[in-house]
Amino acid sequence: MDKFVIDGGRRLCGTLRAQSAKNAVLPLLAASILTEQRVTIDEVPMIADVTCMAQILRELGAEVTFSEGNATIDSANATEHRISSALTKELRSSVFMLGSLLSRFRRAACAYPGGCDIGLRPIDLHLNALKRMGVEIEEREGYILCACDRLKGADIVLDFPSVGATENILLAAVKAEGRTTIAGAAKEPEIVDLQNFLNAMGAKIAGAGTDTVEIEGVDRLFGIEYRPIKDRIEAGTYLLACAACGGEVEIEGVHGECLGLLLHKLRENGCKIHTKNDKIRIASYGRLKCNRRIETMPFPGFPTDLQAQATAVNAAAEGCALIVENLFETRYKYVPELKKMGADIEVNGRNAFVRGVARLHGATVSCGDLRGGAALVIAALGAEGVSEVLDLSHLDRGYFDLSGNLKKLGAEIKRVRV
């Protein structure tokens, strides 16, 4: 097990290029099994979640190789439709395999998905949609068992714009008989990227990025080479780190409209923001001001995956902030760790009231989930003194070479084997 040792208080300056988006790459890997032809996904970050998804594909009989940052998947010999519980429980995105496996084999079996412990995250929306498409589902001994004679297009209405459910329906509908319509679909950029990927394979999908998506089923999909979009959450994390530490940082590869509300909140903090094409530049000098209110919402609202990092910034800003988490009910598990660094935060249900302190101080803290861990790193970077951030396995799920990138910007951070 590794830890970060961070000597805080250094300004961050420089340029970074964002990695390919974790939340785009994982559904693309799941979609690769929809064709028996070879699929290559360029610039794949070698994070733990990608490694786990690759192992799932291998269990199904696909060949997965990584070379020079690219992933090549050949699933011509894939025959298995069951995913082992050991892998499923490691990765929330394993649930995307249900739609892909049903499209390919008319059968699918997986345990309930795992990932970060940030709430219940029920998959009822996924299962109800699949039932509408003619899938019989049995839940037995912790497994979801799905089967159908033929997937059929259907009109599906989502009660909540779930990213995972929208993507799972897309994967199931691309080769279904007839037309499928998703009303109330999620609008995230990663949904658009999945549509573009599938259409390049020969699918007929329109409307991704709006609340209504239409899919006309096709008989066959083809192999392609594809480059995913860049990671707006990673980009946002580095922008928030610069806000907390001060300095000037430019992130390449991410368009400003993908982070519109975050950039608005950073301007409220007192940061200078400049966007041009796929570059975002932040300048942060002097003590920040607290945001009056940050409320997480589905895209284009404030991302839940940046809530913890933004809270860490507000913890050492002037004034008070109200943070409202609308998507996951236990996403404040990082708050007790921030308090060890001197943060003054009171949590009540889905609300967190932050009273900004003059300066956080170094402490030994432990990551409990991916984005909460990123918040602790940001807090340590801006704090006075030395901090140790333990249990980096959560951070490794979503950030490739986090310490190396922060060093490039001037942070005093090293990764140490415990």
Point out the residues that are catalytic. Answer: 116
372 — alpha (psi -120 to 50), left (phi > 0) or beta?
alpha
Q: Which residues of 393-412 are buried (b: 16+ CB within 10 A; e: fewer)?
A: ebbbbbbbebbebbeebebe
Pairing of strands 212-216, 179-183: antiparallel
Least Cα distance to 390 among 363, 361, 354 occurs for 363
Contact 142, 85 (CB under 8 A): yes
Fill in the DSSP letter of residue 283. Answer: E
Within 13 Å and on the Cβ side, how many CA atoms surround 96? 27
Cα separation of the two ends of the chain: 6
The amino acid occupying position 170 is L
Contact 243, 34 (CB under 8 A): no
Give the helix/strand (H/E) hosting 30. Answer: helix 22-31
Q: What angle do CA 302, 45, 82 make, to 5 degrees?
A: 90
Q: What SS3 class is residue 193?
A: helix
Token pair for residue 24? Answer: 């785009």
**Rounded to 5 degrees, what are φ and ψ at 59?**
-60, -30
Bond from prior residue into 161 cis (ω within 30 degrees of 0): no
Q: How far is it, in rounded angstroms, from Cα 197 to Cα 217?
A: 15
Q: How far is it, in rounded angstroms, from Cα 7 to Cα 113?
A: 37
